Amino acid sequence: MKRSKILLVLLAMMCALPQAPSAAGGKSAKPMVVGTDAADDWGTNVEPGLQPIGQAMGQELVEAAIGMADKKTVNFIIKTAFLPPSGGVPEVSRYVWSFTVDGDYRELDGKFTNYSRGACDPTSGQCPPPRDPGLQPFLLRGNCRTEEVIICDELGLVQATFDAAASTITIPVPLEMMGGKPGSKIGPATSDGGYNGSVFSVPTAFYSLGNFPHDGLMVLKTFKVPKR
């Protein structure tokens, strides 16, 4: 068979194959930046000069964004000035994001590893028995109230992605888990306990306190889940 005929046959076969969707049609919308923070203020709630320590631990917050991972899952994205090459500081660097879903308070609380609290947390009603929370766990909590300490019910557990190259922590949360739906509004909230902001980072073991050196980022915008 001549070369020209072979090319015609190959072209005909390619045209007969089902076409994949274009990249432009398959992409999700770009995440919405809902808050930013200065890149040099970790620890200033205690005293000046501590910032390099917080940055080295991956706790210097600079941006918060919300976007859709897919139709049923929301990504909460924390950007820091730096993340350690491992992606995080296990058991030490704690990240908390307080928000509302159609007015109901929720919070995400996690670390690169969290065996100190994620394995067994009597304040959440999830212990005993102990469990393995896995790597990069974030607990979704709600129904918070103050007794001797702040107690929140655990609504679910998700695994985040710590990207050291991009200095981001991406936390995927199913809409159903957080009590949301298409059209829901995810708004800003602030955590109890003396922390500054809707998102904060702080060194911790089981507990951390508002008078610990930390960084807080204030979320000012509301994200609306697309109706699709």
pLDDT digits (tens, 9 = 90+) for 44-63: 988 889 999 999 999 999 99
Q: Which residue has the higher pLDDT, 3 or 191?
A: 191
In a domain, 169, yes or no: yes
The answer to whether residue 4 is domain-embedded is no
pLDDT in tens, 107-157: 999 999 999 888 988 777 778 788 999 999 999 999 988 777 778 899 999
Q: 6 lies in a domain?
A: no
**Is residue 25 a part of any domain in this protein?**
no
**How many distinct structural domains can be found in the chain?**
1
Please indicate whether residue 59 or residue 192 has the higher confidence score (pLDDT): 59
Percentage of residues of the chain with pLDDT beyond 70: 85
Would you state the structure tokens that stand for residue 145, as one six-digit string?
A: 């109230």
Within a domain: 158: yes
Q: Is residue 112 part of a domain?
A: yes
How many other C-beta atoms lie within 10 A of the C-beta of residue 24? 6
Q: Is residue 24 part of a domain?
A: no
Q: Is the pLDDT of residue 193 over 90?
A: no
Report how far residue 127's alpha carbon sits from residue 120's, in angstroms, rounded to the nearest whole number: 5
Domain-located, residue 49: yes
pTM of the model: 0.85
Cα separation, 192 vs 61, in Å, equals 19
Q: Residue 204: give the domain boundaries.
A: 31-224
